Every structure is written in C-alpha cells, then in structure tokens.
C-alpha cells in the first residue's frame, strides 16, 4: 500500500490514543539487528521520552557496536543475555510495537513466544513486503519507503507534528543510510530526500554519521573483508551470480563480532555482469544467507520459495539448517533454474 493510504487519519488517531493511555510501551525488532532496526526502535523511544511517555526497547541479540553512539542504545535490553528482564518487561507492556520486521517470527526463539502471548495492544511499523497484519491490532506497513526509520518519521510527524531533535534525527538518518547502502539502493523515493533535509535542519552532521557508521571498523573486520573477496568468493559469469561463503573457522580466525559481515554481500554485485549475489555464513548449527539482486530478479521470492526466508525484492535473507556444502549446492541449482526461466 502507498504511504498516504497507511497513514489514514482514523488509524493514526487510534494509535495516538493507545500511546497516550499507555503506561508501559515496549518496542522490539528482529534478530541480528541492523542499523534500521536499532535506528527505528531508538527513534521511537527518544520521541516517546520527549513526550513524557514511558518506553523501553528490547532486541533478541546484540547489535553492532558502531550503533552505540545512538541515544539510549545503552538502555536496550538484550533478550539473549537478560531473558527474565525481557519477559517481565513484555509482561508489563500495554502497548507492544514491532519495528522493521514483517512478523513476530523474526524476533527469534526467545522473543517470539513472549510477544505472541502478550496481552498488550500490538502495533507493526515496517517496510517489508507481505506483512503478517493478522498478528497486530494496528499495522503501518508499506514497502514504498527506504526504511522503517523513514516510515517512523512520517508516522510520528503525522501524530505530533515536528518531533525532531538532533538525537532523534540521528537515529532516523542512521536507519535510512544503512538500509539504502548510503543512498545507493531502495533510494528512489523523492520523499526520502525531503525527510533527509529535515534531519539536516534538526542538526544531523552527515560527515560525522558516515564516520560513525563506516569508518569505525576494527582491523580484523577489514581483513575479514579482504579474505572473503580473495579466498571465499565464487563467481559464475555464465548465470550472472556470485557468492561468498564463510565457515565457522573462517569467522573464528578473524575473531568475528556481531555485524562484522554486514555489507560484504554488496561486493558480489560490484562486478560487470553479476546481478545476483549471496553471502553464506556458518553459525551454530545453521547457515545464515543474505541475498541481493540489482535487476528484477526477486530474491524475496527466491528466499521464501527455497529457504523459507524473505525480506525485500532486492535484499532478502534466510536460514538453512543443512551443511554449507549442501546449502551451496541447493542455492546454485535453484539460482540456475530461476535465472534460466
């Protein structure tokens, strides 16, 4: 649905009433949180704080350290580390907001059952396709924005007018910037730039934020990137795809920290003639898959058809419970089939 249609007066009013009457608002997002997940939930918490509303953010597992500069990031509850606190906080919630994920399924093993069984009013704010609206009392979901952070800005501007201060603007900018790869994909929406100009007016220093986001890597991380490109990238010129695979041992060798592989997959698309790319990383008993496309090849459909995953048309993810070798075999076979047809 178009943005105008999801921000209907009555629905927005209903949401405002819920918020104004809420004693405890809880905001959650997806596993392996990225810049848009953390940016959007903290934007909400900082907006609520300015309005005198009580809220707290919970994430399933830790987020990349470069996001520590965002206001209130130190107060995020990490469910994997503090399961009891996460449970008690959700038990006490009267409004529960899910950001940047199309379903509670994406909040992982610990949070999903807590969220689903919660008696709180459930709200969705998201930009993925096919949102599970039946799980929510109210859903604000459209793929016609760059990011959930952008959509959050539009929603709360509609509710309360000018909601920006520098800290909130930084959260929103971080979400937009990271979900568009610094304005290189999902960034053909005119409105995104109108919003960015408002963020600049509110005090965002884009050079400073680009430094925080892209130039605070550890030496290990940069060397892991080099290793991935040199030793672990397979390129299939005939079908126009490339992928990088990293085993548990590879990650250990570079002392892997959460977020270290973010962005690596994009390099697979930087070669002429390569339009579909993947990154496969081995985690405890499973393979995480990141899929990217830069043509009309629909990686959301590919991920959901073959690996029960999903996301967006040009950026999707999935988990495989098979070995790396078998996952690669299945992925290549399916890619070749789909690219031919």
Which of ligand 5GP, Mn ion, none has residue 35 at its interface (CB below 5 to 8 Å by kind)? none
Question: Using CB under 6 A, which of 312, 320, 335, 338 touches ligand 5GP?
Answer: 312
- Is 311 a binding residue for ligand 5GP by CB under 6 A? The answer is yes
Q: How far is the CB of 147 from Mn ion (least distance, A)?
A: 5
Burial zone of 85 (CB within 10 Å; 0-12 exposed, 13-18 middle, 19+ buried): middle
Residue ranges in 65-124 that form contacts with Mn ion under rule CB under 5 A: 100
- Is 277 a binding residue for ligand 5GP by CB under 6 A? The answer is no
Which of Mn ion, ligand 5GP, none has residue 126 at its interface (CB below 5 to 8 Å by kind)? none
**Alpha-carbon distances of 169 from 16, 179, 187, 211, 296, rounded to whole Å:** 21, 15, 18, 16, 32
Q: Using CB atoms, what's the residue nearest to Mn ion?
A: 36
Q: Tell me, by CB under 6 A, how many residues bind ligand 5GP.
A: 13
Q: Which residues fall within 8 angstroms of residue 190, CB to CB, at 6 or more apart?
A: none
- CB-wise, 34 or 260, nearer to ligand 5GP? 34
- Is 60 a binding residue for ligand 5GP by CB under 6 A? The answer is no
Q: How far is the CB of 8 from ligand 5GP (least distance, A)?
A: 25
Q: How far is the CB of 161 from ligand 5GP (least distance, A)?
A: 30
Q: How far is the CB of 46 from ligand 5GP (least distance, A)?
A: 22
Q: Tell me, by CB under 5 A, how many residues bind Mn ion.
A: 5
335 dihedral zone (left: phi>0; alpha: psi -120 to 50; beta): alpha
Token pair of 227 as six digits? 């290793």
Which of 306-309's residues contact partners 24+ apart within 8 Å by CB, and which partners? 306/330, 306/331, 306/334, 307/331
321 dihedral zone (left: phi>0; alpha: psi -120 to 50; beta): alpha
- Is 179 a binding residue for Mn ion by CB under 5 A? The answer is yes
Question: Using CB under 6 A, which of 318, 328, 331, 335 touches ligand 5GP?
Answer: 318
Q: How far apart are CA 132 and CA 104, in angstroms?
A: 8
Which of Mn ion, ligand 5GP, none has residue 259 at its interface (CB below 5 to 8 Å by kind)? none
Whether 123 contacts 96, CB under 8 Å: yes
- Is 315 a binding residue for ligand 5GP by CB under 6 A? The answer is yes
Site string for Mn ion, 126-165 (x = CB under 5 A): ---------------------xx-----------------
Tell me if residue 64 falls in helix, strand or coil.
Answer: coil
Residues forming a β-bridge with 311: 316
- Is 309 a binding residue for ligand 5GP by CB under 6 A? The answer is yes
DSSP state of 193: H
- CB-wise, 42 or 303, nearer to ligand 5GP? 303
- CB-wise, 121 or 127, nearer to ligand 5GP? 127
- 276-283 and 286-293: which strand pairing? antiparallel
Q: How far apart are CA 95 and CA 15, in angstroms?
A: 10
Contact residues toward Mn ion (CB under 5 A) are 36, 100, 147-148, 179
């Amino acid at each position: 649905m178009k943005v105008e249609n999801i921000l209907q007066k009555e629905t927005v009013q209903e949401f405002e009433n819920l918020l104004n009457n809420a004693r405890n608002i809880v905001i959650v997002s997806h596993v392996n949180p990225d810049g848009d997940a953390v940016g959007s939930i903290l934007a909400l918490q900082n907006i609520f704080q300015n309005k005198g509303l009580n809220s707290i953010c919970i994430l399933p597992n830790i987020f990349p350290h470069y996001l520590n500069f965002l206001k209130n990031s130190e107060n995020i509850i990490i469910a994997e580390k503090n399961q009891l606190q996460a449970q008690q906080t959700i038990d006490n919630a009267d409004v529960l907001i899910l950001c940047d994920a199309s379903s509670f399924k994406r909040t992982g093993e610990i949070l999903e059952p807590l969220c689903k069984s919660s008696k709180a009013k459930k709200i969705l704010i998201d930009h993925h396709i096919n949102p599970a609206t039946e799980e929510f009392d109210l859903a604000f979901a459209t793929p016609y924005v760059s990011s959930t952070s952008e959509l959050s800005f539009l929603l709360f501007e509609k509710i309360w007018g000018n909601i920006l201060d520098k800290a909130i603007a930084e959260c929103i900018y971080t979400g937009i910037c990271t979900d568009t790869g610094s304005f290189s994909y999902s960034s053909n929406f005119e409105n995104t730039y109108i919003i960015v100009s408002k963020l600049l007016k509110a005090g965002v220093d884009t050079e400073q934020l680009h430094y925080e986001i892209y130039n605070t890597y550890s030496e290990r991380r940069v060397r892991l990137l080099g290793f991935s490109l040199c030793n672990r990238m397979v390129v299939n010129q005939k079908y126009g795809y490339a992928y990088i695979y990293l085993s548990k041992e590879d990650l250990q060798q570079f002392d892997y920290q959460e977020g270290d592989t973010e962005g690596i997959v994009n390099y697979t698309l930087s070669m002429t003639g390569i339009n579909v790319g993947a990154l496969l990383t081995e985690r405890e008993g499973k393979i995480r898959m990141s899929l990217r496309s830069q043509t009309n090849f629909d990686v959301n459909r590919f991920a959901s058809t073959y690996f029960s995953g999903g996301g967006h048309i040009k950026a999707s993810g999935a988990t495989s419970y098979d070995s790396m070798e078998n996952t690669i075999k299945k992925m290549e076979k399916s890619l070749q089939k789909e690219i031919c047809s």
